[in-house]
């Protein structure tokens, strides 16, 4: 599937912005799953590219208002391009990428507790093949039903289980924590999902599980959609959890109250569909 993607994050402030620094994971990389035909990224200040510790192509930018400079009340970060995707959910890491063992370590968002350990061992004790991972995904969906507005970006896997509801990010964190507790490396995937009928899922999250550590071979599982990664998915970045590979994160000084508007458009070639999130 050939997809055209446009992603704009627009900020407005009630007072002059004195300083801002952002880190962006908004550039998809070529893999067996996808070909990046063209891609462009823009921000309110010059962008500086770097390869992060997880193999993602990341960018950073910063700005400061000088004493005699103009007042800054608004700005936008925009990413746009065309990606051709394939249906296979299997990936093999390229040389130089972090070892799978890195993704066995718990993080603040994926710290396991007895419930998460029990969830992982109940489904993956005998192995982490496709059937077992999909069964674990079904158990996670049953324990954390999809419901926006219940959680936030700092919600942990344990808290999501307590709530019994959350969004794709929460379901991915619970799934990842359960996999790691059972001894299987798992990583968070941020990206896009083409679904004309579900605008809120245009920006999406799922998980990779390393089913063959020696071969560095991963199976990519979409917990929210009860299936494996397919041609509807576009991968942006990976990391041990959301905080490590969030599409946009940063700090600021000044600005007063902030309002943010995110707009994502996914357009299959020959067919245009607008998704607002």
More confident residue, 117 or 277: 117
Residue whose C-alpha is closest to residue 26's, from 37, 41, 4: 41
Smallest Cα–Cα separation from 61: which of 81, 46, 77?
Answer: 46
**Would you state the pLDDT for residue 276?**
46
Q: Are residues 116 and 163 in the same domain?
A: yes
Same domain, yes or no, for 241 and 252? no
Mean pLDDT on 98-102: 96
Residue 143, phi then psi, degrees to nearest 5: -80, -30
* Whether pLDDT at 8 is above 90: yes
What pLDDT score was predicted for residue 254?
87
Q: What is the mean pLDDT of the chain?
A: 92
The whole domain housing 126 covers 90-245
User: Are both 187 and 238 inside the same structural domain?
Assistant: yes
E strand intervals along the chain: 2-13, 17-24, 34-42, 48-51, 57-64, 74-85, 90-92, 145-146, 165-166, 186-193, 203-212, 217-222, 227-228, 233-239, 248-254, 258-268, 273-276
Residues 108 and 74 in one domain: no
- Let me know whether 78 and 212 are in one domain: no
Q: Give the pLDDT confidence score for residue 67 in this predicted structure.
A: 52
pLDDT tens-digit readout, 247-258: 999 999 888 898
| Whether residue 133 is found in the same domain as residue 170 | yes
Q: Are residues 76 and 194 in the same domain?
A: no
**So what's the pLDDT on residue 5?**
95
* Residue 271 reports pLDDT greater than 60: no
* Residue 79 scores a pLDDT above 50: yes
> Which of the residue ranges 16-25, 41-50, 112-121 would you say has the lowest mean pLDDT?
16-25
Q: Are residues 65 and 138 in the same domain?
A: no
Residue 8 sits in a domain of what CATH number? 2.60.40.2250
CATH number, domain of 160, equals 3.10.620.30
The answer on pLDDT for 277 being more than 90 is no
Distances in Å between the alpha carbon of 271 and those of 121, 232, 268?
44, 14, 5
Based on the domain organization, do 68 and 192 belong to the same domain? no
Looking at the structure, do residues 94 and 219 belong to the same domain, yes or no? yes
pLDDT, average across residues 100-128: 96
What is the pLDDT at residue 275?
A: 46
Q: Are residues 17 and 45 in contact, defined by beta-carbon separation less than 8 angstroms?
A: no
Overall domain count for the chain: 2
Per-residue pLDDT tens digits for 191-210: 999 988 776 678 999 999 99
């Amino acid at each position: 599937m050939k997809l055209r993607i446009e992603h704009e994050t627009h900020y407005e402030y009630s007072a002059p912005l004195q300083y801002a620094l952002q880190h962006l994971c908004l550039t998809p990389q070529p893999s067996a799953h996808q070909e990046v035909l063209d891609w462009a990224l823009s921000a309110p200040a010059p962008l500086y590219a770097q390869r992060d510790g997880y193999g993602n192509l990341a960018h950073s930018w910063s700005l400061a208002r000088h004493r005699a400079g103009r007042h800054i009340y608004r700005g936008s970060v925009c990413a746009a391009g065309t990606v051709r995707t394939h249906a296979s959910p299997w990936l093999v890491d390229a040389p130089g990428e972090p070892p799978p063992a890195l993704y066995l370590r718990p993080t603040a968002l994926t710290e396991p507790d007895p419930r998460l350990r029990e969830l992982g061992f109940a489904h993956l004790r005998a192995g982490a093949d496709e059937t077992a991972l999909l069964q674990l995904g079904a158990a996670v969906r049953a324990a954390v039903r999809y419901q926006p507005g219940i959680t936030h970006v700092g919600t942990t896997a344990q808290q999501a289980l307590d709530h019994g509801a959350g969004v794709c990010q929460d379901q991915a964190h619970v799934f990842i924590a359960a996999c790691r507790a059972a001894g299987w490396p798992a990583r968070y995937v941020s990206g896009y999902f083409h679904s004309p009928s579900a605008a809120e899922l245009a920006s999406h999250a799922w998980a990779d599980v390393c089913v063959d550590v020696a071969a560095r071979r991963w199976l990519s599982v979409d917990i929210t959609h009860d299936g494996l990664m397919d041609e509807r998915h576009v991968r942006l970045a990976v990391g041990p959890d959301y905080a490590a590979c969030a599409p946009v994160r940063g700090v600021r000084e000044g600005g007063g109250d902030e309002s943010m508007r995110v707009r994502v458009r996914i357009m299959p070639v020959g067919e245009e569909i607008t998704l607002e999130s």
